[in-house]
Amino acid sequence: MKKLLLVVAILFATSMLFAQTNTSDVNSVGYNNNSDVVQAGLTNLSDVDQIGDENASTVDQTGISNNSVVLQAGGGPSGDGSSDFNTSDIDQLGESNYSFIWQDGDYNMNTTFQDGNSNYSYVDQWGYGSTSETYQNGNSNSSTVLQGYGTVNGYHYSYVDQRGDENVSYVKQYGGDWNDSYVFQEGNNNDAYAEQNGNSNNSDIWQIGDLNDSDVNQTGDENWGQNEQIGDRNISDIDQDGNRNYAGAGQYGNSNNSSIDQDGDDNYALTFQIGNRNGSMVAQVGNENDSFVNQDGDFNKSCVTQIGDLNISRVTQIGTWNKSGVEQIGDLNRSYVNQNGFGNASCVGQYGDENISYVDQDGTFNLSGVLQTGDRNFSTVTQNGLLNISCVDQTGLDHYSLVNQQGNFNWSKVQQFGNDHDSVVNQIGNSNSSTVTQTDSLPF
């Protein structure tokens, strides 16, 4: 009986030993490569392959069923199959985390830290001198970093920091050198996407909350895109195609939506959204256009389109359900829209060069429309009250129009055709009506 119990105990201890086995496989080919692997826990896997010289790899796994793969080989642009002077550091704590790092080139550096369960990190560095840092704290987060493909050199930098559960980050840097990407996500179910194709581009994504979505796409050189979201269910998209463009979006609240699209050089666009369910769209085609949108409240909508060079647009919306549309096609046009209240609507169209429009709405359900076709036209509309309506149509050169509505239910229409006409309309009180038509043509 004692012998039987002893056999059972030996078999049980043996089975436990196999169940607790961690696995490490290290393969180094070359000169002065270094690999350190530390595994504590159950069924952790580590695979390190180094082909080249002076590579260093550190793997530290604590927990259950973590998996790590390090591949330092391939040679990158040289194509000789040998990757040299690469450094990789992987640290995983928890259960079922997975990390993959492939350094295909020389002088690349990687740091991956995962604390939690079922996190996923994939890093692929091709070329020279790129750096990737990935930090994930929580569960079921996913990070993918691709650096260097399509470029001879590299020197890209990527930083990813995700805190929470089920966040997703994707960074792709290729087609040039010296691109920088920063992603920070704190919360749950946030998505970040950054793609950089060119040289010396900068992308910053900062998300705090749940279910936020941020995209930055950059093609060209020296572009800078920034997205900051604090709240839930915000969406921001930046697309830059050209050189030295700047786009920034700050969203502070819930369910805000911002889109900035830049095609050209030296354009500037900045959007702030404070509140809930605000929407902003900015499209710039050309060079040195300037757009600023500030929304403070709920359900405000703004659309800005700039096609040409050196156009300026300023939109400020404070309140609820205000709507603004600005379209500038030409050069050196300027539009300023200020809305304060509820349900105000403004539409500005500038088609030509050096036109100037001011719209100031303070109150409820005021409506303004300004159309400038030609060059050097000037219009200012001021509305203070309830349900005031103003329509200004300027066609030609050097027209001047001023509309001032103070009160309720006022109505004004100004039409200017030809050149050099001046109009001033002042409506103080309620239910006033005015029509002004100016033209170069004689009535006979």
The 10s digit of each residue's pLDDT in 401-411 is 999 999 999 99
Distance CA 248, CA 236 (A): 10
- Contact (CB, 8 A) for 350 and 325: no
91, β-bridge pairs: 60, 113
> How many domains in the chain?
1
Confidence of residue 232 (pLDDT cuts 50, 70, 90): very high
What's the rounded Cα separation, in Å, for the pair 205 and 407? 45
**pLDDT over 60 at 389, yes or no:** yes
- Residue matched to tokens 């609820």: 320
What phi, psi does 398 have (nearest 5°)? Answer: 60, 35
Does position 39 have pLDDT exceeding 60, yes or no? yes
- Whether 343 maps to a domain, the answer reads yes
The answer to whether residue 297 sits within a structural domain is: yes
Cβ neighbour number for residue 208 with a 10 Å cutoff: 18
pLDDT at 1 > cutoff 90: no
Among the residue ranges 16-30, 97-111, 205-219, 299-313, the one predicted with the least confidence is: 16-30
Residue 330 confidence (pLDDT): 98
Structural element, H or E, at residue 244: none
Beta bridge mates, 406: 384, 428
- Give pLDDT tens digits for 298-352: 999 999 999 999 999 999 999 999 999 999 999 999 999 999 999 999 999 999 9
Q: What is the mean pLDDT of residues 31-52?
A: 96
User: How many CB atoms within 10 Å of residue 173?
Assistant: 34
**Rg value, the chain, Cα:** 30
Q: Which residue has the tokens 């830059």?
A: 240
Whole-number mean pLDDT of the chain?
94
Statement: residue 3 has pLDDT above 70: no
- Contact criterion met (CB below 8 Å) for 405 and 384: yes
Q: Say if residues 98 and 119 touch (Cβ distance below 8 Å).
A: yes
- Over pLDDT 90: what percentage of the chain? 89
Q: Does 202 map to a domain?
A: yes
Contact 67, 97 (CB under 8 A): yes
pLDDT at 441: 75
- In angstroms, the CA 376 to CA 117 distance is 63
pLDDT band at 75; cut points 50, 70, 90: confident
Query: pLDDT at position 151, please?
Result: 64
Q: Tell me if 444 is assigned to some domain.
A: no
**130-164 pLDDT, tens per residue?**
999 999 999 999 999 999 876 667 899 999 999 99
Length of the chain: 444
Give the residue from 45, 158, 146, 161 showing the smallest Cα distance to 104: 146
Contacts of 119 (CB under 8 A, 6+ apart): 92, 94, 97, 98, 136, 138, 139, 140, 141, 142
- Residue 16 confidence (pLDDT): 41
Supply the pLDDT for residue 150: 67
- pLDDT grade for 180, boundaries at 50, 70 and 90: very high
Question: Is residue 443, in this structure, part of any structural domain at all?
Answer: no
Q: What's the rounded Cα separation, in Å, for the pair 219 and 300?
A: 31
End-to-end CA distance of the chain: 129
Full-model pTM: 0.93
| pLDDT bracket for residue 443 (50, 70, 90) | low
* Banded model confidence at residue 18, pLDDT cuts 50, 70, 90: very low
Examine residue 318 and state whether it is found in any structural domain, yes or no. yes
In a domain, 203, yes or no: yes
Residue 354, sorted as left (phi over 0), alpha (psi -120 to 50) or beta, turns out to be: left
**Which residue segment(s) compose the domain that 29 sits in?**
2-438
Strand segments, DSSP code E, in 65-200 are 67-72, 87-95, 98-106, 109-117, 120-128, 131-139, 142-147, 157-165, 168-174, 180-188, 191-199
Residue 390 forms part of a structural domain: yes
Question: Encoding tokens for residue 49?
Answer: 């392959």
Alpha helices by DSSP H, 25-120: none
